[in-house]
Amino acid sequence: MLLYITLGTNNLTAAKRFYDAVMPCLGLALRAEKADEIGYGPAEGRIRLWITRPYDGKPATIGNGAMPAFTAASRAAVDAFYHAALGHGGTDEGAPGLRPFGPSFYAADVRDPDGNKLSVVCETPEHPERSA
């Protein structure tokens, strides 16, 4: 449904450091780097996330109530994203854990260095290993 997401930044260097650390947890990599923007996506195909200085030249601001949610392949990937975010200028908005949005809705919420709120979610049920 979504073609791509764009988030504003006032400090592209800090944003790049943050997103370079968290996007690999989701299988995404830096695919474009220009003077005013960076883009992340899978190894092949369209860039799905753009981080940019606003085109109108005004300061970037956060969207009150806006929150992109990224899909993670596993709960371990959610955990890795969360810890990478906190280690690279992000702030906690909700530690990894199950949420009340479904029986397997495992998520973490953070804010990037510019204050944009991000969620990362794994909905794959995880069952404890059974011993023989």
Residue 4 pLDDT greater than 70, yes or no? yes
Mean pLDDT for the chain overall: 94
Residue 9 pLDDT greater than 70, yes or no? yes
Q: Phi then psi for 72, rounded to 5 degrees?
A: -110, 145
Question: SS3 sequence, 38-78?
Answer: EEEECCCCCCCEEEECCCCCCCCCCCCCCCCEEECCCHHHH
Q: What is the mean pLDDT of residues 106-123?
A: 98
* Partner residues linked to 33 by β-bridges: 38
pTM of the model: 0.91
- In the chain, domain spans: 5-122
Query: Long-range contact list for 44-47, CB < 8 A, 24+ apart?
Result: 46/3, 46/4, 47/4
Q: List CB contacts of 73: < 8 A, sequence separation 6 or more.
A: 26, 27, 122, 124
Q: What is the mean pLDDT of residues 87-100?
A: 98
What is the structure's pLDDT at 130?
42
Q: List CB contacts of 52: < 8 A, sequence separation 6 or more.
A: 6, 7, 8, 9, 36, 37, 38
Residue 127 pLDDT greater than 90, yes or no? no
- The predicted-structure confidence for 50-91, as pLDDT tens digits, reads as follows 999 999 999 999 998 999 999 999 999 999 999 999 999 999
* Partner residues linked to 71 by β-bridges: 121
Which tokens is 16 given?
Answer: 């790049």
Percent over 70 (pLDDT), the chain: 95
Look up the CATH superfamily of 5-122. 2,3-Dihydroxybiphenyl 1,2-Dioxygenase, domain 1 (3.10.180.10)
What is the structure's pLDDT at 93?
97
Q: What is the mean pLDDT of residues 10-31?
A: 98
